[in-house]
Every structure is written in structure tokens, then in C-alpha cells.
Amino acid sequence: MKDCEYQQISPGAAPPPTSPGARRLGPAAPPGPGPGPPPLAAAPRWSGSGSESIGRRPRRKWEVFPGRNRFYCGGRLMLAGHGGVFALTLLLILTTTVLFFVFDCPFLARELTLAIPIIAAILFFFVMSCLLQTSFTDPGILPRATVCEAAALEKQIDNTGSSTYRPPPRTREVMINGQMVKLKYCFTCKMFRPPRTSHCSVCDNCVERFDHHCPWVGNCVGRRNYRFFYAFILSLSFLTTFIFACVVTHLTLRSQGSNFLSTLKETPASVLELVICFFSIWSILGLSGFHTYLVASNLTTNEDIKGSWSSKRGGEASVNPYSHKSVITNCCAVLCSPLPPSLIDRRGFVQSDTVLPSPIRTDEPACGAKPDASMVGGHP
Ligand SMILES: [Zn+2]
Ligand SMILES: [Zn+2]
């Protein structure tokens, strides 16, 4: 991958797990395979003040997660805060498919071929698995800085300022494939956002390679679930087109030798399927085409909308530094590159001495640790 390797806060600067220093909520980048909670650390000595923590069960990190996500099955599944539109997506797909199997497939299988229900079933299961994976996968949330890390970074920013330049700049610049990329400071997560990261206002999290927040799938679409999202809209295009074509065929065959309107009256379920497919097919096909262009260009929706790499922006010629200049390589990089592990370690236990992210302004990091905020790739 050509994407730059980026480290927001050096994990090496953090104290070892057994030391009394503060830890990040999630494993620091790059995460190991299981930095999670050492079993001993789960002892009932967790954050919280003194007596009140005694005798209480250790809490998992998803229970104190600062974003607006909802967690299910003990933190194994996560979803954005408002799931109403996601439920509507499920309802529309399930209703259309069930009606198709009940009212159209028997006729089509008898009159044409058994392949029709088989193809529809395969497409349906593929669509549902892609949808559920998009919805319940961590999209690439970056854990917020702990109080100590944030304080250290604040100190570093203050040191870069001078009496004539106040306040100190809240941006940094890194060079990526010959292109200067500006990193903005996130006041919620208390860190400089890595390249291509954006803060989702719905979920209240910084998400790596943020594409957009999609209420239809009930989740952000980012680095860790973009491929599932793309597979979902692409397969949904096929399923919708397939059902639409089959229902039209069904109605045409049925109406042979009789009035077409009376056939429509006899099959209200097929008419409902036609209406749902007709109104959704255009947006689904349009979305698939748009994301195919994004994948081929290694762009995100966010970058495309903002015109981040538009040649006219700021009067300077700028090119997408993440593009591999080849459609095939871009597709492979976006869809087939290894999936990075989740950084929020939501099933891990809250450490006894974890200082949870909160509005901070401490003069000194009280944790003894001296984390520094370093950037690979350099900054001015
Ligand atoms: Zn943020
Ligand atoms: Zn979101």
C-alpha cells in the first residue's frame, strides 16, 4: 500500500501495561494481535474513586465508550446511535424478497426455470451478509487520547507558539507521495487527525479513511467496512434489477390472453414489489456507479465532495496522493488490502488506572508517563 504509515501518539512513550501510567482506551497504533486486557488487569480495581469501585465487576471498554455508538452482544456488535433508517433498509429488502419468493417464484419456477429462485436466494444471502457486516463492523474508529496524552500534546502545541503568534496553529502538515497534506486537530478526540481521517458528527468518533456516515446501513463507512459497503450496494443493484425483471416477466406471462389491468389486480404483491424496486433501483444503481468511480480512483466520498484533490483548489495543482495511477491497482488497494484490526478494543477491560477521556486542561500530566506526539512523515 502506498498510503503513508502514520502514528498519532507514540505507543512506545506510553508506560508498560503494569505501570501506573495512563493507557489509551484502545490499543495504541499499531495494534498487536491482542493487546487487550491482561486477565490480571481485570481485577476489580478499575477507574473510579476508591471505595465505590470495591466489589464491583470490572467493566469492559464498550461500556464506557465515549462515542454515540450502541453495542450489542457484550460489545461484539456495534451500530450507530439511531438505527431507525437501518431498520427500514432491512424491512424493505426483507419485504420485497419474501413477497417475491412467495408470490412470483412458484409461477416462474414452474413456467420458466428453477434457476430463478436459486439465483435470487444466492443474491439475497450475499446482500444480507454484506449489509450486516457493514453495519456491525467497527468502521475504523480511532480511540480518543487519554488525559495524559492530550495534556502532553497540548504542551507540545503551546511550545510551538510564540508571543507574537497566538494562539499556536492547530494544524500540521505531512508529505505524502510528494503532496503536502494538512492534518487538523480534533478538539473532541484531542489529537491531530491522521490523513484521510474525519470526525463523524453523528457517531462522535474520528474514523480512519472516513467515507461518509450512512444512515441506511446504520454506521459510518470507513477504512474497515468500506469493502463490505461496496459489495452491499453492488449486490443490491443486481438483486433489485433481477427481482424487477422477474416480476415484469411474471406479470407479462400471466396477462397473456387476458387484460393486463385485471392481472395487476390479481397480484397486488407483485405490484408492491414493482413499486419498491422501481423507486429504489435508480438511486442504488447511481450509488454503485459513483462508488465504482471512487474505488477506481482510490478516493473517498468525503474527499470527492470537498474536492480535496481538485486541481483548481487554492489555485494550485494538486493530485490525489493515494492514487496508484492504475485502476486495477486502486481497486485492489481499496477492496483487497489486508483489513487492519480494530483499535478500540471494545471487549477489553477498563484498566484499574485508566484515565478516561474527558474535557481536560491539566498543567502537568499527572500520570508520570511522558507520552510524546510524534508523526511519521514529519511536520514543520
Ligand atoms: Zn475526533
Ligand atoms: Zn458515523
Mean pLDDT check: name the lowest of 198-212, 223-237, 305-319, 359-373.
Answer: 359-373
Ligand nearest to the CA of 66: 1
pLDDT at position 157 over 70: yes
- Rounded to the nearest angstrom, the distance between the alpha carbon of 188 and the centre of ligand 1 is 5
Predicted confidence at residue 294, as pLDDT, reads: 94
- Rounded to the nearest angstrom, the distance between the alpha carbon of 65 and the centre of ligand 1 is 13
Ligand nearest to the CA of 210: 2
Q: What residues act catalytically?
A: 214
pLDDT at position 175 over 70: yes
Distance CA 8, CA 95 (A): 46
Distance CA 304, CA 293 (A): 10
Mean pLDDT check: name the lowest of 29-38, 100-109, 310-319, 336-345.
Answer: 29-38
* Cβ atoms of residues 150 and 165 within 8 Å: no
Q: In degrees, to the nearest 5, what angle opens at C-alpha 258 toward C-alphas 255 and 261? A: 65
How far, in whole angstroms, is CA 121 from its chain's centroid?
28
Q: For 72, phi and psi rounded to 5 degrees? A: -130, 165
Q: In degrees, to the nearest 5, what angle opens at C-alpha 35 toward C-alphas 30 and 41? A: 145
Distance CA 211, CA 196 (A): 9
Q: For 99, phi and psi rounded to 5 degrees? A: -60, -40
- Rounded to the nearest angstrom, the distance between the alpha carbon of 140 and the centre of ligand 1 is 12
Mean of the pLDDT values across residues 294-323? 80
Mean pLDDT of the chain: 76
Distance CA 43, CA 37 (A): 10
Distance CA 174, CA 194 (A): 10
Residue 351: DSSP 8-state? P
pTM of the model: 0.76
Q: Which band of pLDDT confidence, cut at 50, 70 and 90, is reported for residue 105? A: very high
Cell numbers found for residue 196: 484521510
- Rounded to the nearest angstrom, the distance between the alpha carbon of 252 and the centre of ligand 2 is 44
Mean of the pLDDT values across residues 34-40? 36
Distance CA 22, CA 31 (A): 17
* Cβ atoms of residues 344 and 61 within 8 Å: yes
Ligand nearest to the CA of 143: 1
* Cβ atoms of residues 137 and 224 within 8 Å: yes
HSE on the CB side for 122, CA within 13 Å?
Answer: 6
Q: For 180, phi and psi rounded to 5 degrees? A: -75, 125
